[in-house]
Amino acid sequence: MENWSNNKSLSNKGMLIVISGPSGVGKGTLCKLLINRIENLYLSVSATTRSPRPGEINGREYFFMSRQLFEEKIKKDEFLEWAKVYNNYYGTPKDIVFKQLSEGKDVVLEIDIQGAAQVKKNYPQGVFIFISPPSMEELKRRIIKRGSETESSIELRMKCAADEIKAALEYDYIVLNDDLNRAALNLQSIILAERCKMSRNMNIIQRLGEEFGNDVSLSRLTY
């Protein structure tokens, strides 16, 4: 696996924000709110081999494709990360994400825990956020309410949810999606605060230092 920190498109540019959580917790709903509320944020569109749900449009919710095409793309190393989730392939197209980051946009990846672990290994400076349901009972209610899954698919998603919740400990932040507006505000606050981190803004200090003729070397700013 390549070392992303050496990849020019990922250094000193936009930040990568990874959002995970069990199916039905509200990730899609929250991400749509987020995109409308924060500027300079790009929501990555994944590729998948699952069938579109009613209302989903190719290229908007996902790039829907055959298993054969997905496997060809794996071989050609076209994914930033990919995983098999609920018996289907899902993956993040590398070229689009790198392009957005290199243009200075922050990129949100709404991906499962396996994909998030791959991203964390290669890009630990990313921001990792886990969305939690208020209870397992409410989670099941939401999956049923969405009306997109068969009985067996609901059972599979609930079974996987237990493992996904255990993986929450690997994330930097947890957002409880009880009240939708409060959860969206918390998510928004995390991203805005991360944008203000000193480590992401050394260029401000350097520029000001240069203005008053001081040689502010970044290597001397050690905290």
Nearer to ligand 5GP, 15 or 130 (CB): 130
Contact residues: ligand ADP, CB under 6 A: 21, 23-29, 142, 145-146, 177, 180, 183
Q: How far is the CB of 38 from ligand 5GP (least distance, A)?
A: 20
Instruction: Please report whether residue 115 would count as binding ligand 5GP according to CB under 6 A.
Output: yes
Nearer to ligand ADP, 31 or 127 (CB): 31
Restricted to residues 160-199, the positions that interact with ligand 5GP (CB under 6 A) are none
Cross-strand bridge partners of residue 128:
18
Alpha carbon distance 158, 149 (integer Å): 12
112 binds, among ligand 5GP, ligand ADP, none (CB under 5 to 8 A by kind): ligand 5GP
HSE (side-chain half, CA atoms, 13 Å) at 92:
24
Q: Burial of 187 by CB count in 10 Å (0-12 exposed, 13-18 middle, 19+ buried)?
A: buried
Instruction: Please report whether residue 114 would count as binding ligand 5GP according to CB under 6 A.
Output: yes
Alpha carbon distance 173, 170 (integer Å): 9
3-class DSSP assignment, residue 4 = helix
145 binds, among ligand 5GP, ligand ADP, none (CB under 5 to 8 A by kind): ligand ADP
